[in-house]
Amino acid sequence: MSYFAFLSEHGPTMLLGTVTTIKVLICSTILYVIISLIFGLMRLSKNPIIQGTATVYIEFFRGTSLLVQLFWFYYVLPFFGLTLEAFTAGVVAIGMNFGAYGAEIVRGGVLAVPKGQWEGAFALNFTPAKRMRKIIIPQIFPIILPPAANLTVELLKATALVALVTVVDLTFEAKQINSITWLSAQCFGTALLIYYIISRFFLVPFLRWLEVLAAKKVGKEKA
């Protein structure tokens, strides 16, 4: 069977899987961005309870493997009466895991904002909330976006794991087709290529564009 015959027969199935992969990617990215912002700021709180909660959360999710967390969410939570759909479990596990990594990036970004900005806001008698909202947070984006972009590419790769809890994504489809046709080189090769194309030609350019945008925005505000 030539490769083109393979593509025409199984290409549509794989594309369907790709759509699911992209859905998982988008949902878990949104979740991880929200979690990293919240826990990154909590980590910087002076209140020991808030800071402790964030530290425990971050260490817990960074200390165990994503696959273990994923299986825990999918197979163990039903024991406690909370049954998640495979898709939800996948998105929540990936989002919470990467949120822990992202929180550390956010923390680093806030600490990297020049001290003069803090002092300036203090001198202008801004309340702490206003200082964070108007001065510090807008400035962390150009600092945190490059490492966050790396993390997001990692997240795209991690979405492959949801196939193991029966989400019908690209990896799942590739495995299915492999078990029917035994054309392993074609189906896994195609899957690898699709992931590569998503990352190289869509995700990375988009993240670079965001970086440029964020840098420009801060530059404009400075002028």
Partner 1 sequence: MNAEWRWDFAIEILPQMLWATLNTILAAGIGYAIAAVVGLLFLLGQRTPIKIINMANREIVEFIRSTPLLIQLFFVYFVLPQFGITLSAWVCGMITIGLHFGTYLSEVYRGALEGVPKTQWEACRALNFSMFYTYRKIVLPQAFPIAIPGMGNYLVGIFKDTPLLSTIGVAELFHAATAVGGYHYRYLEPYTIVGIIFLTLSIPAAIWIRKIEKNVNLSQGKIKKEQI
Residue in 185, 205, 208, 219 binding partner 1, rule: CB under 8 A: 185
28 in Cβ contact with 98 (< 8 Å)? yes
Residue type, 181: T
Contact 107, 44 (CB under 8 A): yes
Contact between 199 and partner 1 (CB under 8 A)?
A: yes
Residue 63 in the binding site for partner 1 (CB under 8 A): yes
Residues 80, 116, 123, 222: which binds partner 1 (CB under 8 A)? 80
157: closest CA among 144, 171, 145? 171
- Our finding on whether 32 is near partner 1 (CB under 8 A) is no
135 contacts 126 by C-beta, under 8 angstroms: yes
Q: Quick one: CA dihedral 101, 106, 159, 96, positive or negative? A: positive
Please report, as residue ranges, which positions from 106 to 135 form the binding site for partner 1 (by CB under 8 A): none
Least distance in Å: CB of 129 to partner 1?
31
Does 67 bind partner 1 (CB under 8 A)? Our answer is yes
The residue range among 5-13, 72-80, 124-132, 212-220 that interacts with partner 1, by the rule CB under 8 A, is 72-80
How far apart (Å, rounded) are the C-alpha atoms in residues 74 and 26?
20
Cβ 130 to partner 1 shortest distance, Å: 34
One-letter identity of residue 183: L
> Min. distance of Cβ 199 from partner 1 in angstroms?
4
Report the residue from 8, 64, 117, 127 that binds partner 1 according to the rule CB under 8 A.
Answer: 64
In single-letter form, the type of residue at position 47 comes to N
Among 31, 145, 191, 214, binds partner 1 (CB under 8 A): 191
Residue 181's alpha-carbon distances to 18, 62, 113, 150, 187, in angstroms, are 19, 38, 55, 35, 9
Contact 146/208 with Cβ under 8 angstroms?
Answer: no
Nearer to partner 1 by Cβ, of 54 and 174: the residue is 174
Q: Catalog residues that contact partner 1 under the rule CB under 8 A.
A: 59-60, 62-69, 71-72, 75-76, 78-81, 153, 156-161, 163-164, 171, 174-175, 178, 184-185, 188-189, 191-192, 195-196, 199-200, 204
